[in-house]
């Protein structure tokens, strides 16, 4: 009947199985297949109960996102669900893996649901800038009550089978989906249970209808961190409609909201980001079928902030770590900080109460590099100078087991040079984590000249295993992220010399959607680091130097570009800084001018995009989307703007190139001249996305 959906009859039970790898997404073919099979089962006089289940690794994981934005193909999902819910014969959804989005909506239109113990159920559409568009916002509140529904729909995180059972979302936990579903369907038929249609059951809405604060409080808590995003608010409105309106009207409201979001810019950007993240895990130039080396234990050199954060990322994923320091004192301090971190998370309810002890038990803290011998992957997070790194890698050559992958966590040093200090450069690469390493999702995987393909595959796959988003980059100063950031840093400093204030620059950057502006970020990182390094290199930066000379090192001294109340991290504009800037400019004979917010935004963003173009031309990043992944997951680029290269395409490359050329002249800064690749694309009327499309076609 259908290539992707199969109908079988076992006595009086029809079993409809979706088989559309990898995730049984609801493509037009799957929708048509389900419709036809359910209809046949309803029409078959022998059938008394129907089971809907899936083959492969998961129940339906949602609508087929690749179809969004294209002309819709019948049947629509709403028609399929309406056929199912009004079936005169009971339909049981038998769930395993992840029933997400449209997948859970299919299950909600069934009369009963069962799931395996490890199944996850959720409506994550908000993460794609959408809201559930096939009845999820109307049926889920009726299944579990508006409070949990809002949490799942506005928050977007799935719940496990146990929680689903407790909330009444599923009826039973079963061993195998198909066999469990069938057994449950037989029970329903034998007991002549009534058809449970969620659309007709308002019982769980009563409390919120009487006291709407149950709903509004839940929404307020969940949208606190949704600055700039449209979908969470629209999704909350749709759930509100379930409380306020009859089912059909609520569905209509949901549909309107879904279509508006789907056609909007934010969801386009968020859907792009979803695929960009997956694309980044595909390494270009590695032979097909290259296998990852086995990683059973990881050694981390250095128990400082970075090393500790990296160690936590591994043990959080259940991978044992040997954490190595040069002395007992440093080791004790590092272990103590991790312990405290875990305890604080457990106290907040973020992890179970017994998790800190369990996780710490996976860390073997030891003194001496000679203890790396049983590790399959070694990551060094030691002092950031070439001489120290070379010494460490030289020793690793002596102590690491043959075939171990040797990674440096350097944020800018030359990995090719580091690799030369070993006799096994094929095993050497960079794994650049971002601070705090147990929180930030990005890991730049730096491919050196001699890195072996299977070492690279190992780094990418282990990064995914510990829930990081890997992006493969080449060797250059600062790799992708910090190299682009340096361009922004240069402009932000120059803007102060022209008349802008730190708070004005930061406000423009945060209004754009970044979590922090460059000056607040400097205060957080500590201004003294750059100051010392400038002194070593004999470089001057008049305003930043003047701040440091006045003892303003940033948050740690309670003042930097801003002032901070004791114990507070909130940055307060400081008239003293303005005075200090004015004095510096007067001393240098500089004239202030009014700098517009538009200029600030252009000078913050366009030079980074220009650098991105150079990075692409040099092959440091294989795809524009890899650059976007770096910014989305390493620097908090707002997901609804897709990443710098995606955003540049929406602004228009010609405009960006022209503005860069203008600023190059206006500010007498040749580094702002448009990069050849940017200029070429702009002249040809093309986008960065066209490069990705062309390389895919090649
Ligand atoms: C929705 O349902 C809207 C409805 O409310 C309304 C409709 C009217 N479509 O992540 P993985 C691909 S919105 C198309 O690496 P994992 C993915 O690109 C949707 N393709 O595996 C990748 O392809 P490739 C709501 C999809 O095991 C491959 O499958 N649902 C889709 O780490 C494997 O993916 C969601 O938001 C899709 N829906 O994780 C769920 N999903 O191999 C989105 C995946 O070529 N999906 N692909 O790179 C996920 O969260 C994860 O993929 C999942 C598996 C947890 C399912």
* pLDDT tens by residue, 109-141: 999 999 999 999 999 999 999 999 999 999 999
DSSP 436-470: STTT--EEEEEE-TT--HHHHHHHHHHHHHTT-EE
Question: Taking the domain 500-588, which CATH number applies?
Answer: 1.10.1040.50
* Segments of the chain assigned to CATH 3.90.226.10: 5-262
- Give distance in angstroms: CA of 278 to centre of ligand 1: 10
pLDDT value at residue 696: 65
**Alpha carbon of 624 to those of 97, 280, 604, 614, 688: distances in Å?**
32, 10, 19, 11, 6
Residue 629, SS3?
A: helix
Query: Architecture of 597-697 per CATH?
Result: Orthogonal Bundle (1.10)
Q: Ligand 1 pocket test: which of 27, 30, 62, 122 has the largest number of ligand atoms within 8 Å of its C-beta? A: 62
* b/e 496-517 (16+ beta carbons within 10 angstroms → b): bbbbbbbbbbbebbbebbbebb
Active site residues: 105, 125
* Segments of the chain assigned to CATH 1.10.1040.50: 500-588, 597-697
Q: Which residue has the tokens 């954490």?
A: 323
pLDDT value at residue 698: 55
Specify which residues 447 forms β-bridges with. Answer: 474
The list of the chain residues with pLDDT below 70 reads: 1, 695-698
Counting atoms of ligand 1 from 1, which one is nearest the CA of 132? 5
- Give distance in angstroms: CA of 65 to centre of ligand 1: 7
Counting atoms of ligand 1 from 1, which one is nearest the CA of 123? 25
pTM of the full structure: 0.94
Q: Which CATH number fits domain 5-262: 3.40.50.150, 3.40.309.10, 3.90.226.10, 3.40.50.620?
A: 3.90.226.10
Task: Please work out whether the CB of residue 61 comes within 6 Å of at least one atom of ligand 1.
Answer: yes
Task: Please work out whether the CB of residue 101 comes within 6 Å of at least one atom of ligand 1.
Answer: yes
**Alpha carbon of 570 to those of 136, 566, 573, 576, 638: distances in Å?**
39, 10, 10, 17, 21
Query: Architecture of 298-477 per CATH?
Result: 3-Layer(aba) Sandwich (3.40)
Name the closest-CA residue to atom 48, ligand 1.
Answer: 278
- Give distance in angstroms: CA of 429 to centre of ligand 1: 30
- Give distance in angstroms: CA of 105 to centre of ligand 1: 15
């Amino acid at each position: 009947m259908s290539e992707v959906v199969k109908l079988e009859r076992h006595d009086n039970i029809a079993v409809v199985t979706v088989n559309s790898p990898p995730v049984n997404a609801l493509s037009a073919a799957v929708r048509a297949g389900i419709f036809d099979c359910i209809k046949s089962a309803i029409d078959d006089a022998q059938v008394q109960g129907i089971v809907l289940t899936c083959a492969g690794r998961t129940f339906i994981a949602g609508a087929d996102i690749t179809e969004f934005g294209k002309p819709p193909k019948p049947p629509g999902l709403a028609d399929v669900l309406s056929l199912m819910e009004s079936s005169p014969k009971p339909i049981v959804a038998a769930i395993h893996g992840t029933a997400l989005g449209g997948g859970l909506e299919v299950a909600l239109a069934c009369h009963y649901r069962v799931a395996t113990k490890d199944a996850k159920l959720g409506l994550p559409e908000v993460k794609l800038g959408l809201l559930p568009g096939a009845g999820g916002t109307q049926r889920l509140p009726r299944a579990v009550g508006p409070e949990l529904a809002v949490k799942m729909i506005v928050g977007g995180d799935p719940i496990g089978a146990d929680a689903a059972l407790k909330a009444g979302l599923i009826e039973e936990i079963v061993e195998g989906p198909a066999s469990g579903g069938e057994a449950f369907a037989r029970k329903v038929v034998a007991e002549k249970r009534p058809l449970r249609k969620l659309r007709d059951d308002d019982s769980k809405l009563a409390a919120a209808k009487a006291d709407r604060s149950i709903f509004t409080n839940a929404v307020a808590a969940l949208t606190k961190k949704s600055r700039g995003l449209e979908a969470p608010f629209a999704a909350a409105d749709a759930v509100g409609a379930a409380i306020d309106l009859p089912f059909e009207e609520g569905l209509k409201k949901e549909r309107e909201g879904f279509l508006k979001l789907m056609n909007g810019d934010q969801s386009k950007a968020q859907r792009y980001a979803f695929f960009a993240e997956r694309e980044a895990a595909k390494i270009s130039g590695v032979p097909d079928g290259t296998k990852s080396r086995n990683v059973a234990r990881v050694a981390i050199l250095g128990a400082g902030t970075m090393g500790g954060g990296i160690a936590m990322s591994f043990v959080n994923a259940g991978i044992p770590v040997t954490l190595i320091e040069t002395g007992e004192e440093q080791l004790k301090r590092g272990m103590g900080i991790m312990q405290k971190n875990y305890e604080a998370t457990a106290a907040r309810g973020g992890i179970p109460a017994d998790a800190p002890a369990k996780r710490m038990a996976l860390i073997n803290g030891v003194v001496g590099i000679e203890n790396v011998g049983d590790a399959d992957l070694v990551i060094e997070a030691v002092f950031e100078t070439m001489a120290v790194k070379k010494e460490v890698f030289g020793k690793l050559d002596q102590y690491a087991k043959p075939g171990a992958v040797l990674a440096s966590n350097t944020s800018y040093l030359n990995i090719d040079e580091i690799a030369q200090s070993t006799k096994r450069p094929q095993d050497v690469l960079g794994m650049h984590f971002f601070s705090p390493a147990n929180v930030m999702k990005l890991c730049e995987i730096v491919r050196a000249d001699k890195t072996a393909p299977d070492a690279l595959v190992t780094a990418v796959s282990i990064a995914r295993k510990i829930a990081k988003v890997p992006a493969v980059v080449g060797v250059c100063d600062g790799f992708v992220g910090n190299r682009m950031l340096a361009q922004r840093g240069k402009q932000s400093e120059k803007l102060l010399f022209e008349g802008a204030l730190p708070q004005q620059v930061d406000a423009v950057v945060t209004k754009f959607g970044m979590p922090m502006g460059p000056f607040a970020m400097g205060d957080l990182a500590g201004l003294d680091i750059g100051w010392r390094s400038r002194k070593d290199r004999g470089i001057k930066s008049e305003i930043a130097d003047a701040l440091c000379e006045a003892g303003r090192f940033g948050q740690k001294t309670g003042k930097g570009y801003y002032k901070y109340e004791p114990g507070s991290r909130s940055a307060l504009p400081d008239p003293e800084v303005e005075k200090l800037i004015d004095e510096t400019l007067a001393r240098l004979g500089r004239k202030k001018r009014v700098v517009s917010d538009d200029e600030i935004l252009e000078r913050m963003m366009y030079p980074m995009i220009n650098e991105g173009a150079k990075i692409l031309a040099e092959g440091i990043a294989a795809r524009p989307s890899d650059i976007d992944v770096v910014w989305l997951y390493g620097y908090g680029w707002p997901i609804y703007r897709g990443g710098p290269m995606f955003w540049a395409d929406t602004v228009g490359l010609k405009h960006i190139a022209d503005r860069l050329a203008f600023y190059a002249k206006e500010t007498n800064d040749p580094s702002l001249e448009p990069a050849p690749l940017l200029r070429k694309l702009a002249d040809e009327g093309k986008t960065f996305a066209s490069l990705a499309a062309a390389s895919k076609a090649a």
